[in-house]
Amino acid sequence: MLAHILLGFVVGFLVGLTGMGGGALMTPALIFLGFEPLTAVGTDLLYATVTRAFGVFFHGKRGHVRKDIAFRLLIGSVPAVLIGGYAVRHIPREILNHYLTLLLGLILIITATLGLLKGEIKVPVKPRRAYIYLLGFIVGLTVQFTSVGAGVIISFTLMNIARINPKQVVGTTILYGLTLSTISFLSYASMGSVDYALAGTLIAGTIPGVYLGTHVNANISKERLKKVINFIILFIGLFTLLD
């Protein structure tokens, strides 16, 4: 139990600091500890929902939340979550458990590779608002199957391509992730794929972790924060690959 509380604290700190870590680190960690992949995803979604709720509160008080961007991402994600929820209910459990870990690892490796790119990333098309909806759809589908994506993919895209202030990226990512994880959690809860006792011990550690991470976020330079976020993306990808 103490190990679970410590795990909740560490991941909560990363969420408060960078907006990432909820699914990208917690789900692989739970799978590594021997929990069934579907249960790991469902439990992490409950943990992530509570963690992000505190994160939004703390970052909102500092003015680090772009509600307009989070709203557009959410609109794109809703149909993806519905499609993903339908698929999860109609694909055999054995197949999902077999491929969830593989899909999780591939997603993190791709985002980690992108995080290695230095300097500004020039996309071949002119940025448009419509692309935010498309990004929301892709991430929504990813989160529904793995509980990962809201932090890692959104943070990388907004920070490196859209070039939004890293501090605002963190708060916006947490707000978007909160809504998305809540919707996804309800789907897994209806299937009985949530370990509430485990989630409770994880949440016990996340509250002080999120508070500390938010405090550090407010006192770190933008460039240093950007490096920290990209480094964590790389670390999470390598962690999952080695696992």
65-124 tens-digit pLDDT: 888 888 888 898 888 878 877 777 777 766 766 676 667 667 666 766 665 565 555 555
Burial (CB count within 10 angstroms: exposed 0-12, middle 13-18, buried 19+), residue 96 = middle
Over the Cα atoms of the chain, what is R_g? 16
Among 16-30, 120-134, 162-176, 182-196, whose mean pLDDT is lowest?
Answer: 120-134
In 10 A of CB 139, how many CB atoms?
Answer: 25
What angle (nearest 5°) sits at the alpha carbon of residue 71, between those of residues 203 and 150?
Answer: 45
**Please, are residues 194 and 171 in contact by the beta-carbon 8 Å criterion?**
no
* Per-residue model confidence as pLDDT tens digits over 108-138: 667 666 655 655 555 555 556 777 888 888 8
Joined tokens for residue 1 = 């139990």
pTM, entire model: 0.72
59 vs 157, more confident: 59
How far lies 237's CA from each of 24, 58, 230, in Å? 9, 28, 11
pLDDT band for 202, please (50, 70, 90 cuts).
Answer: very high
**Contacting residues for 55 by C-beta, under 8 A, at least 6 apart:** 15, 16, 19, 171, 174, 178, 210, 214
What is the pLDDT, as a whole number, of residue 26? 84
- Asked if the model's pLDDT at residue 187 lies above 70, the reply is yes
Domain range summary for the chain, segments of one domain joined by +: 1-242
Cα gap 131→138, rounded to integer Å: 11
Joined tokens for residue 197 = 């006792």
What is the pLDDT, as a whole number, of residue 86? 79
How far lies 48's CA from each of 27, 94, 239, in Å? 10, 25, 19
- Asked if the model's pLDDT at residue 193 lies above 60, the reply is yes
Most confident of the following: 12-26, 89-103, 149-163, 206-220 = 206-220
What is the pLDDT, as a whole number, of residue 25? 75
In 10 A of CB 189, how many CB atoms?
Answer: 15
